[in-house]
Amino acid sequence: MGKRETFPLKQETDIVLIRQRVRKYAEEAKLGIVSQTKIVTAASEIARNALIYGGGGECVVEACSRDGRSAVYLCISDSGAGIADIDRAMVDGYTSGSGLGLGLSGAKRLVDAFAIDSAPGQGTRVELWKWR
């Protein structure tokens, strides 16, 4: 297992720090510039969701490999209200708040693998992978 770090996600400035750290991991995994930008953008979207809708949580960033290719793994979790209808939350333009409703669906398009686990009262956990 590669390098792994956990970052708190309690305030807006934590999103900036997470973006910077994800960028660093993506560079170290030798991802191309477009892939780097995509995983950093996806991290920003999911982290903001966890902060605004989930009341904050944490973000795990890990350097790993997938089928022999270097990869970046992210796990962003919160202990907020959770999502009752994940299918609906994944639709472009759907939002329970005031956003554009692109966070979840958009982030999924930007990464190579995406997993979401959530239930009412159980918080939300989103996992993202981007590989070389």
Partner 1 sequence: MVERIPILKMGNFLLLSIQVDMHDQLALDLQEDLTAQIVKHRSRGVLIDISALEIVDSFIGRMLSHIAQVSRILDAKVIVVGMQPAVAITLVELGLSLEGIATALNVEKGMRRLEKMVDDDMILEPESGEARDISVEAGD
User: By the criterion CB under 8 A, which residues form the site for partner 1?
Assistant: 12-13, 15-16, 19-20, 23, 33-34, 36-38, 40-41, 44-45, 48, 92, 99-100, 102-103, 105-107, 109-110
Which lies closer to partner 1 via its Cβ, residue 41 or residue 70? 41
Name 111's Cβ contacts closer than 8 Å, sequence gap at least 6: 38, 39, 42, 128, 129, 130
User: In degrees rounded to 5, what are phi and psi of residue 62?
Assistant: -140, 140
Residue 66 DSSP SS3:
strand
Which segments within 53-122 are labelled E, that is strand? 57-66, 69-78, 113-118
Which lies closer to partner 1 via its Cβ, residue 65 or residue 116? 116
Shortest Å, Cβ 12 to partner 1:
5
Shortest Å, Cβ 49 to partner 1:
10
Which lies closer to partner 1 via its Cβ, residue 60 or residue 102? 102
